Structure 1
Amino acid sequence: MDLSADDDEALKQYMPSQFGKKDGSVNVEAQIERARRPVVDESKQGKKDEGSDEEKDSDDDSDDSEDDDDEFPVTHELIIKTHDRAVTTIALDPSGTRLVTGSNDCTLKLHDLSALTPSTIRAFKTVDPFVTKPSQTAESHSIHQVLFGPHSGGQFLCITATPQPRLFSRDGDLIAEYVKGDMYLRDKHNTKGHTSEVTSGAWHPTNRDRFVTAGTDSTVRIWDVNKRMKQEEVIVHKSRAAGSAGMTRMTAIAWGAAAEGQSSMLVSAALDGSLVMWGGEGPYHRPTAEIRDAHTKDTRTSGLDISADGRLVITRGGDDTIKLWDTRKFKTPLNTTSHVSTSSQYPTTDIKFAPNSSSIITGSETGHLHILNPATLRPELVTPVTPGSAIITVNWHPKLNQIITGSANGQTTLLFNPKLSQAGALTILSKAPKKRHLDDDPNLTVDMDPLGMSGDAHYDPSGRLTGGAQAGSFTARHPTIGLTASGKSRDPRRPHIPATTPFAKSTPDQKYVMEQIEGSDMRDEDPREALLKYAPKEGEKNVFTGAWDKTQPKAIYKEYDSDEDERDSKRAKR
């Protein structure tokens, strides 16, 4: 049988070329090169037609594109598609290894960037922040914001379309659900929490135990992480443009670092178009500065950020404008530029300063990433990321030097530059793709009962085994085999774990009561000692009952000469 050249080549491809263990290394440079994206700067498209020398223009454009490649981390991209609906918020911990995304599908997706590979880009956990117990029914509320603390990645704050902010661990476990205020109290100073939807939140720039939230009840509330039953401070914003009631909706808030010689600052935007600033450390009874018409009334200012040095504030309003403010002259904007707003459709549309405050990034309704110059607010780079699908949220991580965007089509995009960026997407692309396994396809796997195939087995009155073990190959084990009469294990190597009843799970322990319930420490206090604290000392004036000292009659008691007289008198009474 004669073989043609094509058959011979096909046979060589089929047969192994060597024996033994093969080298599983991967060409990292080629794998990163496949992630390269065409950097199209549409802000400079109009310059191509200017001038008479086309070659000169093309050379200028090429030089500009090369400069942009070296300046901004946008030359490569890595796509994460783990949500079904619009991605409304993105958060990365300070180390840049844990990525949390929130969406309009009412779920949080947790990604471990250090464990992902190019073929297994998926979330390792899906968290429903509204289901805290297995028996609880699911609610449907959008997720507005997810925020890691500035100094610790051990926990993150979740702001949802409810009156209660929630605190989660980095693994998605609920730590605290902060209290909801009484909506029937008219004075908002007297409520323990928000009485309506929370719209925005921010961490204290230096204190990891404090954060602030703003809500539609016209209040800004400062919380202690360890006290979930009541906020620390309440700031009620009295709107002068909202009529006699003076109530408006707070739409965004930011807590900025201290400027030179000053304390930290709180800046909040409201639906009445105002922009209000308070001192971050108090007092909070009166704002430090207020701009009534910062943006058009009844338009949602969804984007708000403070520069790293605390000197500049950037806002993105619902009136299709972006404005830059100086905190030292908080009266008129330094610069204003037009930018189409998407806050009516996506209320969490944001705008951010770069880590060194040298640039400003935001998205657009057309799916373009806009990088602006903070001095002039002119675009330095406008590049499409998800064309036709609006970019809602942006984040520029300082350690990774990578830009993360969340779009309306449910896509999260990691933009990076191999020359400028580190870790993050580069860590993922430096690994070999994981080989396909049967367990990777959920359509070809079966979820097994943790009790085994005999978990549904039971005995009928005649003693015959039915249910999951009808075939007789599996037998049901009696639940008390291997245990003593008291329920402990007979095996000395197996520790005894006491059974936890549903009542015990919902019963608060002593530590919880002492920390969360005010006045609970009085339970262990001696009442006599508590009263004697207010008893006047010798030579001291009686503060509480001093008014009756002069009019109080003196007690007169019968005096006995001896104990015998006292006993005789008692016998006479009997």
Structure 2
Amino acid sequence: MSDSEVEIEEDDGVKAFMPSGFGKQDRVANTKAQIEQSRRGAGAESRPADPSGSRLITGSSDCMLNFHDFSSMTPTTVRAFKSFDPTASKTSSNNEVHPIYQVLFNPIAPASVLVVTSLPQAKIVSRDGDITTTFVKGDMYLRDMHNTKGHISELTSGAWHPKNRDLCVTAGTDSTLRIWDVNNPRSQRDVIVHRSKAAGSAGRTRMTAVAWGGSSNTLVGAAFDGSLAMWGGDGPFNRPSGEIRDAHAKDTWTSGLDISSDGRLVISRGGDDTIKLWDTRKFNKPVNTASHPSTSSQFPSSNICFSPNSASVITGSATGHLHILNPATLRPELVTPVTNGSPLITVLWHEKLNQIITGSANAETHVLYNPNTSRGGAKVVMTNAPKRRHIDDNPNLTMDLAHGISGDAISASGQAAATSFAARHPNVGMTNSGKSRDPRRPHIPQITPFGKSQPDRDAVTKHIPLSSMRDEDPREALLKYSEKADKDRMFTNAWAKTQPKTIYAELSDDDEEPDKKKAKR
């Protein structure tokens, strides 16, 4: 070793932090990372699937609806093909926040989707994400709720008619249930006013949940005063056919409500940490009661529902577990973890897919399926081949070249040039005709050669002195035509010889004196 060389000892501690290589070392798709990137920023409040099981919609408290198509998703690409805010009136100035409480496909006409938000107006959206109907808002200054044409305060829940494709019902905090006809959104078809008998309520309370179903066409509603009310689905709605005043504890939010397929049983999940089963034929006391911690105080859309054959009851828990209960005893037959540590808000057992779809507070949507008994849905997604990832598929890694060098200027030899700058930036630059590509910028006509050489009137007035008629002497303007008038008379040519010299009348004394004023009578 020479004197100029210095021996450096290897530091294992520093070497451990140094990367062994750069870039991706293998071609294996990181499915977990892709799912983490596709997480929603707020709890998934609703996640329905259409009756055919081909499309899934997720709505949450971030005011966004996400549309997913099972046939186009793969294990590595679980993104939505469309996302939009159904409550936004102007995209540029939308400062209000309206959480989405419930999204429901029409069981008879899957092309219609009922969207219930915190606004007083429910909306009907197509399965492609287009708003087709917006129900009217009522007059908030009317005291009698029978005279208003719509809800006057926040909505909480909704449901479709089990047999009529044009009818739906919404529940609101104005103590009413309103039945709507989608063909007449300007006024409700029927209004049900729930009169609370709780002390200090002044006859009003908030309706927290509503369910409409069963073979017998039964309508059931839950209120904030702890009561349950039942009506016949075809009316009359003047008074309920059955009512339980103390079904759950007073001033607790009963968020979950469902009716069995035969219409004989009603399951309710209250804010008093209880689950109760009711018989519609003896609607005065619960058949069974079970203790279950409630999450409705934090997540008002926490639900509970029957299985398609009403042989089981499913619901979520605050610990993130899925509970499958026996409706006869309300005891858990199966408890499986879905999102540990994060509450499981909504559950749905799809009839055709035979799969359970869940929504959690950590913005995750899970689809539980059985490879042997399930059909379509998540099973199709897992059987699809993973899509080969490209750097352009991730918008966070792509570079914005609006202020940099154009892609047209860089092209490899023997290869076609990349996409033009105009195609990547349609609102930047000018067209061939001279118009701006930005639709917000007004069009300025091109200046002609005459416009460049001939000054306009304002320029002449400002820069050329005495160019206005106000600066001209009228006496000089008339005298410059006197010589021409003497040589070529147009009207007095007959007197050119007989009276060559013009004779004017002489002034009299009367003409010189001013006019006398008229005497007042």
Q: In the aligned structure 2, how far is the partner of 1:197 from the partner of 1:111?
A: 28
User: Aligned to 1:444, what secondary structure does the other structure show?
Assistant: coil
Contact 1:94–1:152 (8 Å) recurs in 2: no
Matches within 5 A, 1:73-472: 81-135=38-92, 137-243=94-200, 245-259=202-216, 264-442=217-395, 443-446=397-400, 455-457=427-429
Query: Offset of 1:152 from its aligned partner?
Result: 2.0
Deviation at 1:418, TM superposition (A): 0.5
Counterpart amino acid of 2:243? E
Deviations 1:217-260 (A, max 9, x none): 0000000011111100011001111436100000000001233x
What are the superposed Cα offsets for residues 10-29 of structure 1, whole Å, 9 maximum, x if unpaired? xxxxxxxxxxxxxxxxxxxx
Are 1:117 and 1:431, in contact at CA under 8 Å, matched by a contact in 2? yes
Matched residues in 2 for 1:270 and 1:105: separation?
26
Aligned to 1:514: none
Residue ranges of structure 1 left out of the alignment (5+ in a row): 1-30, 36-77, 459-474, 481-574
**Residue 477 (structure 1) aligns with:** 433
In 2: Cα distance, 1:200 partner to 1:453 partner? 43
Q: Which whole-Å deviations, capped at 9, do the CAs of 1:392-435 have from their partners, x for residues lacking one?
A: 00000000000011001000000001011010011111111000
- Offset at residue 361 of structure 1 (A): 0.2
Following TM superposition, by how much is the alpha carbon of 1:451 offset from its aligned partner in structure 2, in angstroms? Answer: 6.8
Distance apart, 1:284 and its partner CA: 0.5
Unaligned residue ranges in structure 2 (runs of 5+): 1-28, 403-420, 437-521
Partner of 1:16: none
1:363 alignment partner AA = G
For the Cα contact (< 8 Å) 1:167–1:174, is it kept in 2?
Answer: yes
**% identical equivalent positions:** 60
Alignment deviations for residues 545-569 of structure 1 (CA, whole Å, 9 cap, x no partner): xxxxxxxxxxxxxxxxxxxxxxxxx
CA distance in structure 2 between the partners assigned to 1:355 and 1:159 by the alignment:
23
User: Does the 8 Å CA contact 1:240/1:246 hold for their aligned counterparts?
Assistant: yes
SS of residue paired to 2:219 = strand
Q: Provide the C-alpha distance between the structure 2 equivalents of 1:267 and 1:295, rounded to a whole number of angstroms.
A: 14
Give the SS at the match of 1:92: coil
- Give the TM-score normalised by the residue count of structure 2: 0.71
Change (3 A) 1:82 1:125: farther
- Residues of 1 paired with 2:401 and 2:192: CA distance? 51
RMSD of aligned residue pairs (Cα, Å):
2.3
3-state SS of 2:335 partner = strand
1:128 is matched by which residue type in structure 2? D
Q: Which has the larger radius of gyration?
A: 2
Are the counterparts in 1 of residues 422 and 428 from structure 2 also a CA contact under 8 Å?
Answer: no
* Contact kept? 1:80, 1:413, Cα under 8 Å: no
1:425-574 mapped onto 2 (5 Å cutoff): 425-442=378-395, 443-446=397-400, 455-457=427-429, 476-479=432-435
Deviation of the 1:439 alpha carbon: 2.1
Change (3 A) 1:454 1:141: closer
Q: How many residues align?
A: 387
Alpha-carbon deviations, 1:474-529, whole Å to 9, x = none? x643459xxxxxxxxxxxxxxxxxxxxxxxxxxxxxxxxxxxxxxxxxxxxxxxxx
Q: Is the 8 A contact 1:238 1:247 kept in 2?
A: yes
Q: Secondary structure of the equivalent of 2:86?
A: coil
User: What is the alpha-carbon distance in structure 1 between the residues aligned to residue 293 and residue 42 of structure 2?
Assistant: 22
Higher RCO (C-alpha 8 Å, min separation 6)? 1
- In the alignment, the residues of structure 2 paired with residue 423 and residue 287 of structure 1 have an alpha-carbon distance, to the nearest angstrom, of 41
- Structure 1 residue ranges, 4+ long, deviating more than 4 angstroms after superposition: 78-81, 132-136, 445-455
On the 8 A contact 1:89/1:101 being kept in 2, the answer is yes
Amino acid at match of 1:444: T
* Structure-2 separation of matches of 1:454 and 1:418: 47
Q: Distance in 2 between matches of 1:453 and 1:162?
A: 37
Q: Is the 8 A contact 2:273 2:293 kept in 1?
A: yes
